[in-house]
């Protein structure tokens, strides 16, 4: 198992290197190049020249790349053109919010999706089955930001049941420790702050979780329908095991294998969707920062954020692969 993990970690290196080349090239290829990216669109030619000299941009490309790589390893992606603060600092400040949001969305998608998909398969052909199939198709076809607007309009603006913007009520002067607002509230025993931060997660979390939910329902349903017809389920029944044992040990366990792979892939969708959802709900996470950076043409932020999000995505997929190895013994020996 350890060797499996180490091998997977080693396989990450070329991918991360490739990523850095790609994003390095991306910044060079931008109109105006990195100097403009760092200084903003209104920078004077003199300022650009000074910047180029200062950061060695007049040197050969490979030297520049190595320097970029050296700084990237130390998580130094320069400063934001908009705020002047280091990109990494902004990222670390905003990432906890996005993590909270994606966790909520994933828990929602898994918590609802797997039971629903399982029930749909058990009652194959029933109205519950048809409804969940139609619903999951609709869920995938709906643009995330539209759903987010709809939820916000209905539950926040019209009905006023849940907060529709931000991460926490401004009036609550909560203490910050980790920037995970819910966690902070719990750590400092400011229960109302934690509860309020949690409520702020509900609408964006549901909007964000809908597509993964739809996909998880479909995969679980299809997978359970497949597994139920497997020979080993017949064997388990031939052994006269109790229905609950057959389901738990022989059906669900195997049916969850493809579902777990999908969950890893969904992280990409979640990070993509976070850009849209956070923007709609003015949720101060990484996603809304990317949206702001696009509008402000803040390329340093875009480069750093995309690179760091890609690393997060790759790491999450690694974790999923490892957990897959735990679930399926056949993968481990390979």
Partner 1 sequence: MSAVGDVRRRRIDELAARAGQVPEGEGGVSLTRSAFRRLRRNPVAILGAVIVVVFLVVAAFAPLLAPRDPLAQTLLSEIRPGFIPGSQPGFPLGVDELGRDLLSRLIVGSRQSLLIGVVSTLLGVVVGMALGVLAGAFGGWVDTVVMRFVDIILSIPSLLMAISISVLLGQNQWSLMIAIAVTQVPVFARLLRGSMLAQRGSDYVLAAQALGIRRRRIVFGHVLPNSLSPVIVQATLSLATAIIEAAALSFLGLGDPDLARPEWGAMLSNAQDFLSVRPELAIYPAVCIIVVALGFTLLGEALREALDPKFRR
Partner 2 sequence: MSPLTIEELPPRDAGQDGRPVLEVEDLSVTFTRRGEQPTRAVDGVSFSVAPGETVGLVGESGCGKSVTSLAIMGLLPRRGVEVGGSVRLHGQELIGAPDRELRGLRGADMAMVFQDPLSSLNPTVPIGVQVTEVLLEHREMSKKDAVAEATRLLDRVGIPDPSRRLKEYPHQLSGGMRQRALIAMALACSPRLLIADEPTTALDVTIQAQILELLRELVVDTGTALVMITHDLGVVAGLCDRVHVMYSGRIIESADRHDLFARPRQPYTGGLLASVPRLDGARGAPLHPIRGSARDVIPWAEGCAFAPRCDNAQDDCLTEVAGSTVPLEYDGPGRELRCRHPLEYPRTPAGATASGAAR
The residues that touch partner 1, with contacts defined as CB under 8 A, are 14-15, 18-19, 22-23, 26, 29-31, 137-138, 140-146, 149, 153, 157, 267-269, 271-273, 275-276, 279-280, 290-291, 294-295, 297, 299, 302, 306, 309-310, 313-314
Q: How far is the CB of 324 from partner 1 (least distance, A)?
A: 17
> What tokens does 218 get?
């479909």
User: Please, are residues 132 and 213 in contact by the beta-carbon 8 Å criterion?
Assistant: no
Binding partner of residue 138 among partner 2, partner 1, none, CB cut-off 5 to 8 Å per kind: partner 1
| Surface-to-core class of residue 156, CB atoms within 10 Å of its CB (0-12 exposed, 13-18 middle, 19+ buried) | middle
Smaller CB distance to partner 1: residue 114 or 144?
A: 144
DSSP letters for 78-112: -B-TTT-SBHHHHHHHHHHHHHHHHHHHHHHHHHH
Pick from 53, 232, 282, 319 the residue near partner 2 by CB under 8 A.
232
- Selected range binding partner 2 among 95-103, 174-182, 188-196, 236-244, rule: CB under 8 A: 236-244
Among 96, 250, 287, 308, indicate the residue that binds partner 2 (CB under 8 A).
Answer: 250
- Please report whether residue 170 would count as binding partner 2 according to CB under 8 A: no
Contacts 24+ apart (CB under 8 A), 189-192: none
Query: What length does the chain have?
Result: 334
| Least distance between partner 1 and beta carbon 29 (Å) | 6
Find where tokens 């910044």 sit: 27
Q: Which does 236 bind (CB under 5 to 8 A by kind): partner 1, partner 2, none?
A: partner 2
Q: How far is CA 328 from the centre of its chain?
A: 25
Q: Distance (Å, rounded) from C-alpha 278 to C-alpha 167?
A: 10
> Taking a C-beta distance cutoff of 8 angstroms, is the pair 193, 185 a contact?
yes
Residue 114 near partner 2 by CB under 8 A: no
List 58, 131, 234, 319, residue binding partner 2 (CB under 8 A): 234
Q: With CB cut-offs between 5 and 8 Å by kind, which of partner 2, partner 1, none does residue 239 bind?
A: partner 2
Contact pick of 76, 93, 169, 230 for partner 2 (by CB under 8 A):
230
The CA radius of gyration of the chain, in Å to the nearest whole number, is: 24
Neighbouring CB atoms inside 10 A of 76's CB total: 14
Question: Under the rule (CB under 8 A), what is the footprint of partner 2?
Answer: 230-232, 234-243, 245, 249-250, 253-254, 257, 327-330, 333
């Amino acid at each position: 198992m350890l060797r499996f993990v180490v091998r997977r970690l080693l396989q990450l290196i070329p991918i991360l290197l490739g990523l850095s080349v790609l994003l390095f090239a991306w910044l060079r290829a931008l109109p105006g190049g990195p100097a403009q990216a760092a200084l903003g669109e209104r920078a004077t030619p003199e300022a650009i020249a000074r910047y180029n000299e200062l950061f060695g941009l007049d040197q050969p490309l490979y030297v520049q790349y190595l320097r970029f790589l050296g700084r990237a390893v130390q998580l130094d992606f320069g400063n934001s053109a908009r705020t002047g603060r280091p990109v990494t600092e902004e990222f670390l400040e905003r990432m906890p919010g996005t993590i909270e949001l994606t966790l909520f969305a994933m828990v929602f998608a898994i918590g609802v999706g797997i039971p629903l998909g399982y029930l749909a398969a058990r009652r194959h052909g029933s109205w519950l089955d048809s409804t969940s199939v139609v619903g999951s198709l609709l869920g995938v076809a709906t643009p995330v930001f539209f759903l987010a607007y709809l939820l916000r309009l209905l539950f926040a603006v019209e009905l006023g049941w849940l907060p529709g913007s931000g991460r926490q009520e401004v009036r609550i002067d909560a203490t910050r420790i980790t920037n995970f607002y819910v966690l902070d509230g719990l750590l400092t025993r400011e229960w109302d702050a934690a509860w309020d931060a949690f409520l702020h997660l509900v609408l964006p979390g549901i909007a964000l979780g809908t597509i993964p939910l739809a996909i998880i329902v479909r995969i679980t349903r299809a997978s359970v329908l497949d597994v139920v017809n497997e020979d080993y389920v017949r064997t388990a029944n031939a052994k006269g095991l109790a229905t609950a044992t057959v389901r738990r040990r022989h059906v669900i366990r195997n049916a969850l294998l493809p579902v777990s792979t999908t969950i890893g892939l969904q992280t990409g969708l979640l990070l993509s969707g976070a850009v849209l959802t956070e923007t709609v709900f003015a949720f101060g996470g990484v996603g809304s920062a990317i949206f702001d950076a696009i509008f402000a043409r803040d390329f340093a932020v875009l480069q750093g954020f995309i690179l760091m999000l890609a690393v997060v995505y790759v790491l999450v997929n690694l974790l999923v692969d490892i957990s897959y190895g735990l679930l399926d013994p056949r993968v481990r020996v390979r």
